[in-house]
Structure 1
């Protein structure tokens, strides 16, 4: 079953710039390695968890901003941890980064469900992206995103937050007859769909562009359905970076998921 929104939603083909995708992957991976080293040292030093999270955000942000300035000095940057520069709105190329997605999970030693996001928007379109999962030792990018194999199971798996269960997401899960899988950051959830560990990730609780830009780019490159929960296309590099909802799922489940989310 499909909804009108699902049938009419614009889902442009992914544009893969392999050079930019490799750069995104390299930078996300390197930032993740810095975070792993810092977290190990912080654990040994028994630093306060709040301090671990704050310093982790800063270390990754400063590294990514410096690398982007070195590699792409003419490009604009929108980072969760940086001051917004309005000149990005007229720039041809804008990097959207989340230096540490899943700050809460990063501060809980031993957790693996946190990520580093690096994405590129060119003239309004996502053209490259990478999501590093440092604690897993893997980085997913638009250059080599895996495609989930085989059909979706009869009882699909829906990845949800450990702490928040929005009613629309729970209604969608019920409509799909889904099993719930708890996980931390947005990037971790989206990459679980890419890996085929779950089939659906829906978010309705409020996000910003940096939370979803890189995961959306990678998910689209993997052949997954990506949209807002009304079926429309997520749009990036807007004056207000608030982008509150998202659906990433196996294409064959999109119609039922969107219909349930619209109720």
Structure 2
């Protein structure tokens, strides 16, 4: 059983994420050793593995009673027996990172009994750090995050793939929206929490490490995030996967869900 006392994990998580950024930027000065993981899992670099090793050693060294779920660590079912678990993406947006992009990040979350209670996403190339702790709000640096107030899907600024904004996905009508896309799903969720976009939508299944950090940051900012069927995401599942995600400010989310659910 885990210690019932709830420690303040966020400071150590932020420090670890900042150190991960230094590792990733340093690796960019030489060959990244990029290879494809196969099975449609995308690329991995030596930087991904180095960051993963550092984070696991650091974080589990401080909290050995927590489970561990990371994109770059072989999954250990023992995590399912822990009340609390680290959920980590050492480098979210590896493809962009390997190609010289800037919107990659280091993502660390702690989930307790299926709900995220602390989260940080550090974007070293952008100089941005988003963080949240349950009941204490969501922040970018020292500034509180505030979502937009857009109420209707028509006219909204939505982060999504172009194909996902077509009729087969929207029985209630495709929103007449301004659509853009960013490579990192975590970045998309953070941008919604920040109010720079009104919503982020993906109908593709997503790994928990691509959603966990954004889940808490959105909720603590006052936005909403659900699966495409309207369920609240839960974490540390056996599959470590979630169905499609709909994230939006609290006023807009119901209109999006109504359009998705209409028959």
Please indicate, yes or no, whether the TM-score normalized by the shorter chain is above 0.5: yes
The answer to whether the 8 Å contact 2:148/2:197 transfers is no
Alpha-carbon distance, 1:169 to partner: 9.2
Corresponding position of 2:3: none
Deviations 1:186-226 (A, max 9, x none): 11111111222111001111211111011111111111111
Please tell me whether residue 130 in structure 1 is matched to residue 120 in structure 2.
Answer: yes
TM-score by length of 1: 0.82
Corresponding position of 2:24: 35
The higher-RCO structure (CA 8 Å, 6+ apart) is 1
Q: For residues 14-163 of structure 1, what are the structure 2 equivalents within 5 Å?
A: 19-39=8-28, 41-42=29-30, 50=35, 53-109=44-100, 111-143=101-133, 144-145=138-139, 146-148=144-146, 151-152=149-150, 155-161=155-161
More strand by share: 2
Whole-angstrom distance in 1 between the partners of 2:168 and 2:22: 33
Q: Report the CA distance shift for 1:185/1:126 in structure 2 as closer, same or farther (over 3 A).
A: same
Deviations 1:1-46 (A, max 9, x none): xxxxxxxxxxxxxxxx78212222222222122112212x12xx5x
More helix by share: 1
Whole-angstrom distance in 2 between the partners of 1:135 and 1:18: 30
The answer to whether the 8 Å contact 2:34/2:46 transfers is no
Partner SS state of residue 128, structure 1 = strand
Please tell me whether residue 211 in structure 1 is matched to residue 207 in structure 2.
Answer: no
* Structure 1: 4+ residue segments shifted above 6 A: none
Q: CA RMSD, aligned part only?
A: 2.6
Corresponding position of 1:248: 247
Whole-angstrom distance in 2 between the partners of 1:201 and 1:57: 25
Whole-angstrom distance in 1 between the partners of 2:168 and 2:25: 32
Please tell me whether residue 232 in structure 1 is matched to residue 231 in structure 2.
Answer: yes
The answer to whether the 8 Å contact 1:158/1:173 transfers is no
Whole-angstrom distance in 2 between the partners of 1:224 and 1:242: 22
Partner SS state of residue 9, structure 2 = helix
Alpha-carbon distance, 1:136 to partner: 1.1
Partner SS state of residue 23, structure 1 = helix
Alpha-carbon distance, 1:54 to partner: 1.8
Corresponding position of 2:184: 185
Q: Report the CA distance shift for 1:69/1:48 in structure 2 as closer, same or farther (over 3 A).
A: closer
The answer to whether the 8 Å contact 2:96/2:102 transfers is yes
Q: Any gaps of 5 or more consecutive residues in structure 1?
A: 1-16
TM-score by length of 2: 0.82
Q: Report the CA distance shift for 1:92/1:116 in structure 2 as closer, same or farther (over 3 A).
A: same
Q: Any gaps of 5 or more consecutive residues in structure 2?
A: 1-5, 37-42
